[in-house]
Each structure stands twice: as structure tokens, then as C-alpha cells.
Structure 1
Amino acid sequence: MTSWQGDLPFVRTTAPPYYAAILTTALSADTADLAGYVEAAAEMADLAAQVDGYLGMEFARDAGCGITVSYWRDLDALRSWRENVAHVAAQRQGRERFYLGYRARICHVEREYEWSRSTEPGSR
């Protein structure tokens, strides 16, 4: 269990308007298909962070479903990522081996807000 000290694990480099790309995935149940998946995912996260206009990424995964949300300054930045040669190769590898299926959604974010429990001692 994680004990949060101070800041929560939210992307904080966004200010509306911006775009969010939501990728929901179902992984293959075949362990042979998943060889190299963790490394490929880490490489894509590092590569995305190098694209001009990248604002951050949040993700969650359990045994049945993964959700990755990446944030982008504008559609041109998102297009640059989508057309990146290494990313295109990783997409192909995902369709051929890693995923049973995926669904991508592109959203225009107009507003954001957040709440967090106070980290002051004795507060609830």
C-alpha cells in the first residue's frame, strides 16, 4: 500500500483547453504474446514525453483492462505522436501480439478541477 506524502500522482502540467487521448486495452492471455510488453510500454512512455506538445500521462491496469490517458497541447502534437515511426511500429506489435483489442478516444478538455483530502495531521 502506498502512503502518500504531499503531492498525489496526477498530471499537473495541463491548463484547458487541451486534448486527452484515452486508450483502453485488453491484453492477450497468452504469456508468450506478452513477452516484451512492459519494456515496450515504458519505451513508448519515454518517447511520448519527447514530443513537442506532450503534457503528461496517467495509467492504470489490472488483469483484464488497461487505461492510459495521455495529454496533449493540441491536435498537431497528438498527430505527431500518432505518426511517430517507433510508435507506429509499437502499434503494429500491439495488434499482432500484446492486445486482444483496444479502443482509442480523443477528447477536447475544456475544464478541469480536482479535490484532495488534506494532508494535515489529524484531518479527515
Structure 2
Amino acid sequence: MPACFAVIFTSTRTEGDNGYAAAAQRMVELARDQPGFLGMESVRGADGIGITVSYWRSEAAILAWRDHPEHRAIQARGRSQWYSEFSTRVCRIEREYAFGH
């Protein structure tokens, strides 16, 4: 992966789905269509804590995604309904090391 940026979203879910799964899937689909989007990895434990890392070509691409109207609406719903807490971190990736068979 060339030098790029990562947005690390760590969250704790509230009880029940309440439309979360469908909204999360829609956000994945929408993010994939955004200019500068490079990929995404996501995991959520049985305890409700999840981490999603999305990769972007530039800070401008991240800001455009943050401000996308449909994403903004889902962010508001997340604050009011789906998350008891969350944090977002933006990092620059300078290099990557990987191993696999």
C-alpha cells in the first residue's frame, strides 16, 4: 500500500440492531464509491466493541467522506441511537509490513 491515510473508528454499540446492520452496509457501499477510498477492515466483538479502519488516498478525501450528506445523517443516528461511545483517529501510513502464506 502506498503512503496514505487511515481513519480508525472505535465504537461501543448499544443494545439491539435498530436498523444498524442495514445502515452499516449502506455506508460500506457508499464509501467504496468515494474518490480516494482505498479499502476498509472491520471487526466487532461479542462485547459490542468494534474497530473499523478505512484507508484513503488523501486528507481531502477523508474530509469529503466525513461531510457527505448521507454519511452525516448516519453519523447523527449513530450518536443518538447506535453508540454509547466512540472515537475517531486519523493517521498517516508511511509504510506497511505484511506476512502471509
1:35 aligned counterpart, secondary structure: coil
Aligned with residue 51 of structure 2, among 51, 67, 75: 67
Whether 1:98 and 2:82 are equivalent positions in the alignment is yes
Alignment root-mean-square deviation, CA: 0.8
Highest RCO, 1 vs 2 (Cα 8 Å, sep ≥ 6) = 2
| Structure (1 or 2) with the greater strand fraction | 2
**How many pairs were matched up?**
100
Whether 1:22 and 2:22 are equivalent positions in the alignment is no
TM-score normalised by L of structure 1: 0.78
CA deviation digits over 1:73-94, x for unaligned, max 9?
Answer: 0001101100000000000000
Distance (Å, rounded) in 2 between the aligned partners of 1:113 and 1:75: 22
TM-score normalised by L of structure 2: 0.95
1:96 aligned counterpart, secondary structure: helix
Partner of 1:6: none
Partner of 1:57: 40
Whether 1:46 and 2:29 are equivalent positions in the alignment is yes
2:35 aligned counterpart, secondary structure: coil
CA deviation digits over 1:60-103, x for unaligned, max 9?
Answer: 11122100000000001101100000000000000000000101
2:73 aligned counterpart, secondary structure: helix
Q: Which runs of 5+ in 2 are unaligned?
A: none
CA deviation digits over 1:39-58, x for unaligned, max 9?
Answer: 00000000001110000000
| Structure (1 or 2) with the greater helix fraction | 2
Structure 1 runs (4+) deviating above 3 angstroms are: none
Q: Identity percentage over the alignment?
A: 40
Q: Which runs of 5+ in 1 are unaligned?
A: 1-13, 119-124
Which is greater in Rg?
1
